[in-house]
Structure 1
Amino acid sequence: MIRRCIGRAALPVAVAVAVAATTPASPAQAQQHETRPYVVEGPGRASCADFVAWAPGGEERRLGAAWLTGYMTAHHRLMPGVFDLTAWQTPALLMGLMEQYCTSNPDAIVERGAQELVAYLTPRALTEEAELVAVRNGSAVVLVYRPVLTQVRDGLVGAGFAAASDEAGLIAALTAYQTAQGLEPTGLPDQATLARLLK
């Protein structure tokens, strides 16, 4: 049986801010909007227990990742002062974070986990449009926003792996950091490295 799940809990601050941008500003109206029932569509209405049971690489997991990507995009559009909540996180990483939440909260619905993910990502979001930069090591290339690349350099310095200002220096510092952390030494700001360095 297909159920339409209705969210009835107060929205987290990040979502409340997005909602406030599209609603009247009076406190009574804002409070009413934050707590009103709403319908959750698509894979977001599945239970977390079901989410955890979805087969890796299966159709349900693929549709769930597409739903989550759309959920984030909607927040990019609606949240004032946010350009990109997921400045470097891939859908696969986001799904991994959702799995952590759902494993701990099997009775919640997936959309609730997505709300928590938005709240977690908001302080780390890009607040304005940014240039994408290609970092190359041999034939491998990673695209990363320039502000994220600055965070990578700062993170490397904080970890004791200062990088020269050129690309070769960055690759050398990343390779040294990755080796010290037991990561694959790609010399690139890949997902595994960013997840460790920018946590």
Structure 2
Amino acid sequence: MRLNSLCRALFPIAASASICLGTAPVHAADAGNGFAVRGLGSQACSAYVSALSKPDEFARYGNWLMGYATAHNRLLPDTYDIIPTEPGVDFPNVVAVICRTNSQMLLETAASSAVTAIKPLRQAASSPLVVVSADGKSVSIHQESLKRLQAALIAKQVFKGAATGTPSPQFTDALKVFQRREAIPVTGLPDIDTFIRAIVKH
């Protein structure tokens, strides 16, 4: 992911721009605006960024982040899954984008900011997983999430098919056109960067 462009796409309004500049909204659990942070979430973002190039260390952080996302799935209203795409890669990548610009921020705070950024993409109810393939690579995605992305690309006059939640060569081509237009990696796959730019970015 390209750091500066994704940061602008994640936080397009002034009230949220502070996340990219080194601060994040505070969510408090007690009267004194504080709560205990457990496990890897209590470490600084710099430790997480350092772990990105070390597979074993990164796996530990990734597991913590998946637990964090699961807790939000359980606690947020009208939420089956806060992550519309493959969570094992995409959610940690969004957290990494935030951490790279906020090295002293707690990992938990960065993860909370990531949840806030992608909340508009959340899936409200369960739907089947479908496999989308392009150029020898594949991802699994909830059908309803794919339908939302197709509808967004139709609205942007990029995809001329129907929003059925079914992959097709025409949809893959439309994704590539949109990705080129947005100057992001052209994969033909519905990754989190593409979702953010198609649905969240205005």
> Is the CA contact (8 Å cut-off) linking 1:85 and 1:118 kept in structure 2?
yes
Taking the aligned partners of 1:105 and 1:118, their CA distance within structure 2 comes to 16
| Deviation (angstroms), 1:143 | 2.4
In structure 2, give the amino acid aligned to 1:121: I
Per-residue CA shift, 1:66-91, capped at 9, x if unaligned? Answer: 10011100111122221100121533
Residue 173 and residue 36 in structure 1: after superposition, are their counterparts in 2 closer, same or farther (change >3 A)? Answer: closer
Q: 2:75 is matched with which residue?
A: 78
**Paired position in structure 1 for 2:56:** 59
Distance 2:153 2:104 in 1: 40
| Residues 51/182 of structure 1: CA separation in 2 closer, same or farther (3 Å cut) | closer
1:163–1:172 contact (8 Å) kept in structure 2: no
Per the TM alignment, residue 114 of structure 1 is displaced from its structure 2 partner at its CA by: 1.3
Please show how residues 152-163 of structure 1 align to structure 2 within 5 Å: 152-163=149-160
Partner residue of 1:108? 105
Q: Could you tell me which residue of structure 1 aligns to residue 93 of structure 2?
A: 96
**Structure 2 equivalent of residue 189 of structure 1:** 190
SS of equivalent residue, structure 2 residue 73: helix
| TM-score, length basis structure 1 | 0.68
Contact 1:155 1:197 in 2 (8 A): yes
Q: Which structure ranks higher in relative contact order (CA pairs < 8 Å, sequence separation ≥ 6)?
A: 2
Deviates more, 1:125-134 or 1:157-166: 157-166
The CA distance in 2 between the partners of 1:144 and 1:81, in whole Å, is 19
How far apart, in 1, do the equivalents of 2:189 and 2:116 lie? 28
Letter in 1 for 2:65: L
Aligned to 2:7: none
Please say if residues 153 and 163 of structure 1, whose CA atoms lie closer than 8 Å, have aligned partners that are also in contact. Answer: no
RMSD of aligned alpha carbons? 3.1
Q: Does 1:147 align with 2:144?
A: yes
Q: Higher Cα Rg: structure 1 or 2?
A: 1
CA distance in 2, matches of 1:179, 1:121: 22
Provide the residue aligned with 2:35 in structure 1.
Answer: 37
Contact 1:137–1:171 (CA under 8 A) maintained in structure 2: yes
The share of aligned pairs that are identical, in percent, is: 23
Is contact 2:73–2:80 with CA below 8 Å preserved after alignment? yes
Alpha-carbon distance between aligned partners in 1 of 2:66 and 2:49, rounded to the nearest angstrom: 18
Distance 1:115 1:183 in 2: 24
2:129·2:141 contact (CA, 8 Å) conserved in 1? yes
The total of aligned residue pairs comes to 172
* Distance verdict in 2 for CA 1:189–1:101, change over 3 Å: closer
Q: Does the C-alpha gap of structure 1 residues 184 and 81 become closer, same or farther in structure 2, counting only changes over 3 Å? A: closer
My pick for the range that moved more, 160-169 or 186-195, is 186-195
Q: Could you tell me the TM-score, scaled by structure 2's length? A: 0.67
Instruction: Tell me if structure 1 keeps the 8 A contact 2:85–2:140.
Output: no
Code of the aligned partner of 2:69 = M
User: Aligned with 1:135: secondary structure?
Assistant: strand
What are the residue-to-residue correspondences of 1:9-24 with 2, within 5 Å? Answer: 10-11=26-27
